[in-house]
């Protein structure tokens, strides 16, 4: 995807999140984030919007602590505060040129501007789903190509870091196969006891377990927003269960 597409998606997802959260109310529980209210969700997301904008605008070399934004409001002031932070992030990304240079934090990351536009688009999309779950309405569909891109970021970025907790006693292979992206990738994830998962954009070779389904379903499942049974699981289900238990991103 192009940087401008990520920014457009970030704009749409932030607007949808704000609308769903405001309709749900600040104190509504968020089923997909047990223990959180909608207010917690909005404050968390906007803190990360402001964090990303600060990094890009200041060309900060990092690592930059994820400090909570000061003066976080409650009540009816919460919604305009969120929208102001979202709009400021959009302006920052749109004003930055392709040569923007700042800290990024995932292995194999694209250039910084694309990295932050992508990361915040996916951060906001997942939390928009959370807000819509609190609102108790139907979920707004995600574009299949965007969902597949988010799977790629999760598998080849987040879980390539040493902090990934997914380990197996012996080498195992998990395949993730979207069924609605004709030209999109399939991922083969190699697991072991002493290294983080190694995800390849390939369907070559056998797999011990395969998760398949629409890209949106797999995206939300891998981000722990849908149960495992939302996808088709073939092969060794215990491997899928292990991934589910240990793959949460902190």
Tens-digit pLDDT profile for residues 174-189: 999 999 987 779 999 9
Tens-digit pLDDT profile for residues 120-141: 999 999 999 999 999 998 999 9
Is CATH 3.30.1050.10 correct for 151-246?
A: yes
Tens-digit pLDDT profile for residues 29-75: 999 999 999 999 999 999 999 999 999 999 999 899 987 767 789 89
pLDDT at 72: 86
Three-state secondary structure call for residue 107? coil
Q: Given this chain, do its domains 3-135 and 151-246 carry the same CATH topology?
A: no
pTM for this predicted structure? 0.96
- Between vectors from CA 151 to CA 147 and to CA 153, what angle results, nearest 5°? 110
- Between vectors from CA 170 to CA 227 and to CA 214, what angle results, nearest 5°? 30
Domain boundaries, the chain: 3-135, 151-246
Q: Candidates 3.40.50.10490, 3.40.50.920, 3.50.50.60, 1.20.120.450; correct CATH number of 3-135? A: 1.20.120.450
């Amino acid at each position: 995807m192009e940087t401008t597409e990520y920014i457009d998606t970030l704009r749409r997802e932030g607007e949808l999140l704000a609308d769903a959260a405001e309709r749900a109310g600040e104190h509504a529980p968020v089923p997909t984030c047990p223990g959180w209210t909608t207010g917690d969700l909005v404050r968390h997301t906007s803190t990360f919007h402001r964090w990303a904008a600060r990094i890009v605008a200041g060309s900060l070399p990092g690592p930059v602590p994820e400090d909570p934004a000061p003066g976080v409001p409650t009540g009816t002031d919460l919604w305009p505060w969120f929208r102001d932070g979202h709009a400021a992030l959009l302006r920052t990304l749109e004003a930055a040129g392709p040569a923007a240079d700042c800290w990024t934090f995932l292995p194999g990351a694209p250039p910084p501007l694309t990295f932050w536009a992508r990361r915040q688009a996916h951060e906001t999309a997942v939390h928009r789903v959370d807000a819509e779950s609190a609102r108790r309405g139907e979920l707004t569909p995600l574009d299949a190509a965007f969902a597949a891109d988010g799977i790629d970021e999760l598998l080849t970025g987040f879980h390539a870091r040493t902090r990934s907790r997914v380990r197996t006693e012996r080498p195992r292979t998990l395949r993730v196969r979207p069924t609605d992206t004709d030209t999109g990738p399939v991922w083969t994830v190699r697991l072991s006891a002493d290294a983080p998962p190694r995800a390849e954009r390939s369907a070559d070779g056998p797999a011990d377990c395969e998760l398949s389904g629409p890209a949106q379903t797999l995206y939300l499942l891998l981000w722990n927003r849908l149960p495992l049974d939302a996808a088709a699981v073939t092969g060794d289900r215990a491997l899928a269960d292990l991934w589910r238990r240990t793959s949460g991103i902190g």
